[in-house]
Amino acid sequence: MNTFFKSLKIALAAVVLLSSCEHDNLEVPKPNENIRPAADFIRNNYDFRLFYSALEYTGLVNELNAPGPITVLAVPDNGWSAIGVNTEQQVRSLNKDSLRHALQYHVLKNRRWITTDFATNGVDVRLETLAGESVYVSAVNKNNDYFFGGARISRKDIILANGVMQVMNKFMQYHKGKTVQDHLAAKPEFSLFVTGLKKFGIWDELANKGPFTIFAPDNDAFAAKGITAETINNLNVDLFHAQRLFGAYIIYQSHFFVSDQHVFKSLGAEYSYPYTLRNDTWYVNFGTSLLQTNPSDIFFTPYPELTYFRPVPGGLPVVIGMVTQSSYNSKPLVWYDHLCENGIVHRLHGLLALPADASK
């Protein structure tokens, strides 16, 4: 056998040997020819029919189908239901300019942000949006938890032809150009809280730079304790500690989304954030708990928990009042994390103190 045929025989044997082995993991995947740009992908996904209707109504379809890259923070239909919008007709009844800005605020421009790109264990990192304002992003990489403006990502890293989509459990609530004072004044459900803040001289400061984190008890919380506007107006301010009665709901010089405390805990910090009342020794612990708001949901939502304490020298502090997760069951997710220019407002479904608790 000459050298040529000997070499050929060896080569054929090698081919037979290699063909007898499985190499499925070495197969090169074909490109997905059906991948779509953002708006087209959303249009073809039934869970996002209201989001797409809003894109059409506000004229943003072409912008979201442009080359990009972009990152879309999309809200499915159940997130729209939380703000009382359930049909395409209701979408088209919204103020077009305000809705357009809100949608642009849910798009990060000039980059395809997948979750592994976010700052490792970062808290409130700012990223720029199509609206021209920044969103706050927090990430706990070890738990695969990611939050934008307090809203949690429930489905991650859906690849698009011109970027990526992250699915949110609710809309981010950004009130452009509004202070926390403006926000409270515009909401009838906070009228009793506003009455108390004005009565006890706390109101005017809320128009200042801040920042403030405000847990605003709604009118239902006051009504549950038999407190009316007349009750508040008849209080003698000289007989009560203003900060103990109404200041307990305000964290001064701090800016917290509800999810921040969950993030801090996951990073190994304290579960709760204690803040002392101004010029006082009484304090409130702000923490969070995770609740599954719907049995079909695969994600859990952080809810605020507040506990109000009066220190006792040489003894354990006395609990004055408490608002816990039970107060939030079945409540819409949009009732907290309202970002304003000088702070954040959360809606509280209970009172921490009654007038008798704050009397001098």
Cα 324 vs. chain centroid, distance in angstroms?
19
Residues 6+ apart with CB under 8 A from 37: 64, 65, 66, 68, 160, 161, 162
pLDDT above 90 for 15: no
Stronger pLDDT, 58 or 290, i.e. the higher one = 58
User: What is the pLDDT, as a whole number, of residue 307?
Assistant: 95
Stronger pLDDT, 221 or 29, i.e. the higher one = 221
User: Does residue 97 come out as left (phi exceeding 0), alpha (psi in the -120 to 50 range) or beta?
Assistant: alpha
Identity of the residue numbered 360: K
Q: What is the pLDDT of residues 226-276, one digit of tens each?
A: 999 999 999 999 999 999 999 999 999 999 999 888 777 766 666 678 999
- What domains does the chain contain, in order, with CATH numbers? 38-172 (2.30.180.10), 175-358 (2.30.180.10)
User: What is the pLDDT, as a whole number, of residue 320?
Assistant: 96
Token pair in block for residue 104: 């642009």
Eight-class DSSP state of 206: G
| Mean pLDDT of the 105-115 span | 91
User: What is the pLDDT, as a whole number, of residue 240?
Assistant: 96
User: What is the pLDDT, as a whole number, of residue 140?
Assistant: 75
- Residue 98's alpha-carbon distances to 55, 95, 156, in angstroms, are 13, 5, 27
pLDDT above 90 for 118: no
Q: How does DSSP assign 41-98, residue by residue?
A: HHHT-GGGHHHHHHHHHHT-HHHHHSS--EEEEE--HHHHHTTT--SHHHHTTS-HHH
> What's the mean per-residue pLDDT of the chain?
85
Token pair in block for residue 339: 């970002």
User: What is the pLDDT, as a whole number, of residue 19?
Assistant: 36
Distance linking the first and last C-alpha atoms of the chain:
112
| Mean pLDDT of the 90-115 span | 93
Above pLDDT 70, what percent of the chain?
Answer: 84
Q: State how beta strands 212-217 and 151-160 pair.
A: unpaired
Give, for 224, the enclosing helix (H) or strand (E): helix 219-224
* Residue 30: band (very low, low, confident or very high) from pLDDT cuts 50, 70, 90: very low
pLDDT above 70 for 107: yes
Task: Taking the CA atoms of 269, 272, 273 and 274 in sequence, report the sign of the dihedral they define.
Answer: negative
Q: Residue 69: is the preceding peptide bond cis (ω within 30°)? A: yes
Task: Taking the CA atoms of 233, 237, 239 and 243 in sequence, report the sign of the dihedral they define.
Answer: positive
User: What is the pLDDT, as a whole number, of residue 287?
Assistant: 87
Q: What is the pLDDT of residues 138-171, one digit of tens each?
A: 887 666 788 999 998 989 999 999 999 999 989 9
Q: What is the largest CA-CA distance in the chain?
A: 116
pLDDT above 50 for 29: no
pLDDT above 80 for 98: yes
User: What is the pLDDT, as a whole number, of residue 115?
Assistant: 85
pLDDT above 90 for 35: no
Q: What is the pLDDT of residues 299-340, one digit of tens each?
A: 567 888 999 999 999 999 999 999 987 787 767 777 899 999
* Distance of alpha carbon 265 from alpha carbon 329, whole angstroms: 22
Orientation angle between helical segments 49-58 and 96-104, nearest 10 degrees:
120
* Distance of alpha carbon 212 from alpha carbon 56, whole angstroms: 37
